[in-house]
Chain A
Amino acid sequence: MMNKLIALVFATLFANLALAQEAPDALVKQVTEEVLEIVRKDRSIQNGDAKKAIDLVDAKVIPHFNFLHMTALAVGKDWRKASPQQQQQLAGEFKTLLVRTYSNALTSYKDQKVVYKPFRMNAGDTDVLVRTEVHQPGNKPVQLDYSLEKLDAGWKVYDVNVAGISLVTNYRDQFGQEIRNGGIDGLIKAIAAKNKSLEGNLAKADGK
């Protein structure tokens, strides 16, 4: 009797531990479904309210991303030349750019369905790939994969692949060009300028 009770206590304990350390595939699924559920109910996002889409992404998606790692990946070998302060600045501007541009995708949401591919990981893995597929009527399914790493704060996404194209490393050559022309600060300035022009577009759309 006592043994059974102890077993039960341990089982509950382990179950709770498992919940705290949520599996990466479960995390991707939970966040995706939560965001899509909100978009499905939100007429103004569906009608192209970019600002609202950005707020949604900021609140629900961004906490699960590791932007410092993402930016390092985008910059490549020049990353080590940047001071910690420059790295923070770069990551901040890059985050703004990615959020601005890809929140847009939410405003063109129409009946897409996300299918989660079978996921395998070994017990000690700290770096995994979660594979999904976006299905939409009239178009081929699009592969959408997330690279996640395990940090103290839980699993964080550090790369996103759409149809095999990394939204992060696709910047490497453009960033390299800017660094060759104006150093790390030149790159920070270039992304900041881009963000500023996008903000201008956003304000214009708001005024309409």
Chain B
Amino acid sequence: MTGKSTTWKRRAGIGCLAASVIALGGPALADDVGHDPLEGFNRAMFAVNEGLDTVAIKPVAQAYDFVTPLPVRVGVGDFFGNIADVRNALNNALQGKLSDAGTDLGRLLINSTIGIFGLFDVASELGLEKHDEDFGQTLAVWGWDNSSFMFWPLLGPRTVRDTGGWVVDAYTDPTWYTLNKSVAARNSLVALSFVDVRAALLPTDKVVEEAALDKYAYVRDAYLQRRRNLIFDGRPPRLEDVMD
């Protein structure tokens, strides 16, 4: 009897799964954000990451946020932002956006010199717009537009495509080359960039905590929407609206 009911439940489960797969595959929702075939694994990793964050990462970021005066934080942010312009230029060029790539190179030139090794973002003051590009976006522009969602410890949310993109980005990141001779200095810089990113996210923690019915799903869907927005450079096509 129990065996029978489990089989039935399993069938019902498969039925639901099939229904949702069909629903996701429908043309109206082809763009939808529910691509999470590895949800079980991802939720486990999410829990691991939440634990790590609570005991180690968040306290460090909070301490950094607390002790670092604003001008220093701005300098650190601008410094990494300047290095990121190498990645922006490269990926804009790979996506065929040559004029944007030109802007990125101009920014890099100005900020590395007048901006004293990128510590000041003079280029933005001069009206050269800052972009946000990476190899994951380039792959999407090249046609890999839907990719399964992954949740990694430390790295956090990434799709399979964006995980690959991140590896390529790491290889093209000048931080890894210019400081090749001093492993300690390089590692400190990489760690600092992680802490800087985490510290910037501190104010959103409370909002996510309070807003989400299911924190994992909230973070996943926010990440996927955010990536979609970046891929379309801030102007993604509208999703279907039930009221129309």
Contact = CB atoms under 8 A, between A and B. Distances in A.
A104 B34 CA distance: 28
A79 B130 CA distance: 40
Interface in B140-187: none
B210 A170 contact: no
B213 interface: yes
Contact of A72 (B226, B228, B243): B243
B30 interface: no
Contact of B229 (A137, A164, A190, A198): A164
A79 B203 contact: no
A102 B207 contact: yes
Interface in A56-88: 69, 72-73, 75-77, 79-80
Given A79-B242, A137-B74, A138-B74, A166 B211 contact: no
Contacts of B132: 140
Interface string B212-231: 11100110111001101110
Interface in A141-166: 143, 161, 163-166
Nearest to A163: B226
A165 B243 contact: no
Contacts of B1: none
A101 B204 CA distance: 11
B212 A100 contact: no
B243 A69 contact: yes
A118 to B, nearest CB: 13
A116 to B, nearest CB: 15
A43 interface: no
B106 interface: no
A137 to B, nearest CB: 6
A35 B225 CA distance: 28
B230 A139 contact: no
A171 B70 contact: no
Given A80-B242, A104-B206, A139-B200, A190 B213 contact: yes
A174 B241 CA distance: 17
A174 B226 contact: no
A72 B242 contact: yes
Contacts of A163: 226, 229
B73 interface: yes
Nearest to A158: B243
Contact of B230 (A164, A169, A172, A178): A164
A194 interface: yes
B205 to A, nearest CB: 11
Given A164-B230, A164-B236, A198 B214 contact: no
28 contacts: A72-B243, A73-B242, A77-B242, A79-B242, A80-B242, A98-B211, A100-B210, A101-B207, A104-B207, A105-B203, A138-B74, A138-B77, A139-B77, A163-B226, A163-B229, A164-B234, A164-B236, A165-B222, A165-B226, A170-B225, A172-B33, A173-B34, A173-B217, A174-B214, A180-B16, A191-B213, A194-B213, A198-B210
Interface of B: 16, 32-34, 70, 73-74, 77, 81, 130, 132, 200, 203, 206-207, 210-214, 217-218, 220-222, 225-226, 228-230, 234, 236, 239, 241-243
